[in-house]
Amino acid sequence: MATIVAAAGGGNWTTGGTWVGGVAPTAADDAQLSSSSGNVTITSGSVCRSLDCTGYTGTLTHTAAVTLTIGDGTAGAGSVALKLVAGMTYTLGSASTSAISFISTSATQQTITTGGKTLGNWTVNGVGSSYLLADTNSTGATATVTLTNGTLSTGGQTCSWGIFSSSNSNTRTLQLGASVITITGTGTSWDIGTATNMTLSAGTSSITATGNNISFSPGQSLSYFSVTLTGSGNSGGYLLRSNGTIFVNFTRTGTTAKNDEVALTGNATVTGTLTLQGNSVTNRLLVCSSTTGAARTWTITGATVVASNVDFRDTTFSVSTNLSAITGGAGDGQGNSNITFTTPTTRYAVAAGNWSSTAMWSASSGGAAGASVPLLHDDVFLNASSAAGTYVADMPRLGRTIDFTGFTGTFQASGTTSMYGSLTFPTAGTVTISANFNFFGRTTPRTLTSNGKALAASTFDLSSSGTYTLQDDLTMTGNLTLNSGTFNANNKNVTTASVSVTGGSSRTLTAGQGIWSLIGTAAIAVWNVSGTSFTVTANQATIRINAVSANNRTFTGGGVTYGTLTYNLAGSTGSLIIQGANTFDTINFSDASNARSLTLPSATTTTILTAFNVNGTSGKLMTIDSSTPSSTATLSKASGTVAGDFLSIKDSTATGGAAWYAGANSTNVSNNSGWIFTAAPRGNFFNFF
């Protein structure tokens, strides 16, 4: 153990000549940069027991992607771990990769002093260690402060960190005292996702997270004094990952963005003041659950609720709270309890312009403009009394029931837009929608009448109690996603890029007897039924892959019984990949102008009830194979005759009782059983679709 002083000539940390005596510091040595020391560069392998820069006026350069490791089994000289000073220059090669790791295992509390310098990443990772911030502590916005082991006391200092992370199961303690901490990073900017063996002493501290689209993970059952979340962020991008977290004060303040949210993944308790404030009556804050239909509870223990310009969905207050008269109103997005909302009203669009402008709205059909902008629980009418022009949906939540009956103007929506009731589009007006148009209606069955107007991508997120029923054929240029609730096609035809019924929420898709045209051309799952808690009734539906593409398309059926699956559009070379132990009444698969493949799930049985019409042409064979080479995929049909031709078959088992004729012009590649490679007996005909 020695004190090693940097020489006047300076140099790289790990070079002996950089130090008086010609030997670089080891992990047991206290390093000093003194008034007579030259410029020093921290390079790979740099270590010391402590670093003290008292009196230093030179430049300490911290190379990118290099960690300076400080500490051993004893405390540094004078119980100093790190001391930077105002008169020196500390240069980071990279704020996101230059790092300091404090690894002492001494129980003696050691100080970290930055002298007003901005550190990059730094970590406390010494079992049984104890560190105290002695002055203001700052990192770059992309840097992370990590507590892995030991105790970190912020000493009441003002801190500005990119990210704080302490998600592990080690024994560790964070003591905040009266510190004011600002978190500026993105992603999970405060991360105690795993709080096992974590002790948090919040004192009277305040933590403010300012990043956009962040996740704040305070740790299960930990207690905080004041936490404030600012910055813009919408669903899936602004989460409070609370799990029994207790706050004295909690504040979510919205910005000028119209889609600001705070979505809770669990329940939270507030004992002082709960503040939920949107920026304005049109730049509103949405307080909701991260999972539609799964309400989250704010337990308000003697707390005051301060709110303005805020909407709620799937939110429960533990005590009855009247927000009906707050500034900007309180909107009811359904699934809420113990909240009194602003009384719903009806609004009529009378003048073209932006949805967020009072100049568009009247309290009566054809009446005077100047009424309030609709809240998400208000019913909205655009009708024959609406003036000519373009009506622009510049709000993320348009209203409850929206009815365009009689409207002859133009409606435009270019951003993600949602509604909470039934929708009826006009027969004569123009509708242009270029972004997600999402449906959140529930409780009362809702209807969707498109009148030939096309939607973009749409998500139906309804909770288990919500139902949307088509009143006519539906066309979508994007994807149809059912996250929760019931979508009833009502025997109407549906055209969409793809269908997704995934996740764990209760979902019911009633496909009816209509034709489902899948027009997606990318290499996507054009049909994806997966997860749990779903019911799909599609045994009478016709599903057509109906767009020319060279990309492979995947049909993930979820083990459901389907009607007819058809992929016979000429000109496509992309394969159709079927996944799941599904049952089909009929499969039609052919292409007169191209060869392509039908890939079936290996080690799985695909059941055919009526017909398996798979045929190629001369020189353009249809391939039937397995998703896993050398592992067979099974086709089963109980009776009758299957007749195909011009097929290339590999890794396929045909069984069930039917006679499976591949045809005289087909190729038996390898590892097949049950197929008869001759023409079907007379009386069986090939079917081309």
DSSP 3-state assignment of 77?
helix
Task: Look at the block and give the residue holding tokens 């997966």.
Answer: 530
Residues 129 and 73 placed together within one structural domain of the fold: yes
User: Average pLDDT for residues 356-362, to the nearest whole number?
Assistant: 98
User: Average pLDDT for residues 373-378, to the nearest whole number?
Assistant: 98
Which pLDDT score, from 0 to 100, does residue 685 have? 46
Task: Provide, rounded to the nearest whole percent, the portion of the chain with pLDDT above 70.
Answer: 99
Residues ≥6 apart with Cβ < 8 Å to 391: 349, 352, 353, 355, 360, 382, 409, 410, 411, 412
Q: In the chain, how many domains are there?
A: 3
pLDDT category at 236 given cuts 50, 70, 90 is confident
Which pLDDT score, from 0 to 100, does residue 683 have? 60
pLDDT, tens only, 143-194: 999 999 999 999 999 999 999 999 999 999 999 999 999 999 999 999 999 9
**First and final CA of the chain: distance in angstroms?**
86
Residue 495 lies in a domain: no
Structure tokens at 583: 């049952």
Return d(Cα 102, Cα 352) in angstroms, integer.
62
Residue 484 lies in a domain: no
Return d(Cα 678, Cα 659) in angstroms, integer.
11
pLDDT, tens only, 455-465: 999 999 998 88
pLDDT category at 246 given cuts 50, 70, 90 is very high
Q: Which of 322, 343, 364 is the last residue of a domain?
A: 343
Return d(Cα 21, Cα 23) in angstroms, integer.
6
Which pLDDT score, from 0 to 100, does residue 682 have? 79
Residues 364 and 428 placed together within one structural domain of the fold: yes
Residues 234 and 251 placed together within one structural domain of the fold: yes
User: Average pLDDT for residues 78-106, to the nearest whole number?
Assistant: 97
Asked whether residue 687 carries a pLDDT value surpassing 50, the answer given is no
DSSP 3-state assignment of 18?
helix
Residue 163 lies in a domain: yes
Q: Are the C-beta atoms of residues 93 and 61 closer than 8 Å to each other?
A: yes
Q: β-pairing, 3-5 with 30-32?
A: parallel
Residues 67 and 112 placed together within one structural domain of the fold: yes
Using alpha carbons, list the distances in angstroms from residue 245 to 165, 171, 211, 271, 464.
17, 19, 21, 11, 27
Neighbouring C-beta atoms of residue 412, cutoff 10 Å: 15
Residue 671 lies in a domain: no
pTM (two decimals): 0.92
Structure tokens at 635: 């086709």
Residues 227 and 312 placed together within one structural domain of the fold: yes
Return d(Cα 502, Cα 481) in angstroms, integer.
8
User: Average pLDDT for residues 424-449, to the nearest whole number?
Assistant: 95
Helix, strand, coil shares of the chain, percent, nearest 5, are 0, 50, 50
Which pLDDT score, from 0 to 100, does residue 686 have? 43
Q: What is the DSSP letter of 79?
A: G
Return d(Cα 145, Cα 100) in angstroms, integer.
10
Which pLDDT score, from 0 to 100, does residue 689 have? 41
Residues 216 and 75 placed together within one structural domain of the fold: no
Residue 359 lies in a domain: yes
Residues 364 and 319 placed together within one structural domain of the fold: no
Q: Which of 420, 435, 450 is the last residue of a domain?
A: 435
Residue 449 lies in a domain: no
- The 3 state secondary structure assigned to 349-414 is ECCCEECCCHHHEECCCCCCCCCCCCCCCCEEECCCCCCCCEEECCCCECCCCEECCCCCCEEEEC
Residues 15 and 133 placed together within one structural domain of the fold: yes
Q: Are the C-beta atoms of residues 150 and 129 closer than 8 Å to each other?
A: yes
Residues 330 and 401 placed together within one structural domain of the fold: no
Using alpha carbons, list the distances in angstroms from residue 601 to 529, 531, 558, 598, 612.
15, 17, 12, 10, 16
Residue 165 lies in a domain: yes
- Please provide the DSSP assignment of 128-167 as one string: EEEEEE-S-EEE-TT-EEEEEEEEEE-TT-EEEESEEE--
Please name the amino acid found at residue 689. Answer: F
Nearest residue to 611 (alpha-carbon basis) of 502, 689, 501, 512: 689
Give the mean pLDDT of the chain: 96
Asked whether residue 444 carries a pLDDT value surpassing 60, the answer given is yes
Containing structural domain, residue 312: 212-343
Residues 246 and 373 placed together within one structural domain of the fold: no
Nearest residue to 455 (alpha-carbon basis) of 419, 406, 491, 501: 419
Q: How far is Cα of residue 271 from the mean position of the Cα atoms in its chain?
A: 30
Which neighbouring-strand residues pair with 110? 131
Please name the amino acid found at residue 472. Answer: D
Which pLDDT score, from 0 to 100, does residue 234 have? 87
Residues 70 and 110 placed together within one structural domain of the fold: yes
Return d(Cα 274, Cα 262) in angstroms, integer.
13
Q: Which of 290, 318, 343 is the last residue of a domain?
A: 343
Which pLDDT score, from 0 to 100, does residue 2 have? 95
Which pLDDT score, from 0 to 100, does residue 688 have? 41
Asked whether residue 684 carries a pLDDT value surpassing 60, the answer given is no
User: Average pLDDT for residues 79-94, to the nearest whole number?
Assistant: 97
Residues 22 and 157 placed together within one structural domain of the fold: yes
Neighbouring C-beta atoms of residue 108, cutoff 10 Å: 11
Q: Are the C-beta atoms of residues 95 and 67 closer than 8 Å to each other?
A: no
pLDDT, tens only, 478-492: 999 999 999 999 999
DSSP 3-state assignment of 482?
strand
pLDDT, tens only, 645-658: 999 999 999 999 99
Query: In this predicted structure, which of 239-253, 361-375, 612-626, 675-689 has the lowest mean pLDDT?
Result: 675-689
Structure tokens at 169: 């199961």
Return d(Cα 567, Cα 680) in angstroms, integer.
23
Task: Look at the block and give the residue holding tokens 């979505």.
Answer: 263
Residue 217 lies in a domain: yes
Which pLDDT score, from 0 to 100, does residue 533 have? 94
Using alpha carbons, list the distances in angstroms from residue 399 to 25, 423, 438, 446, 633.
68, 10, 12, 13, 50
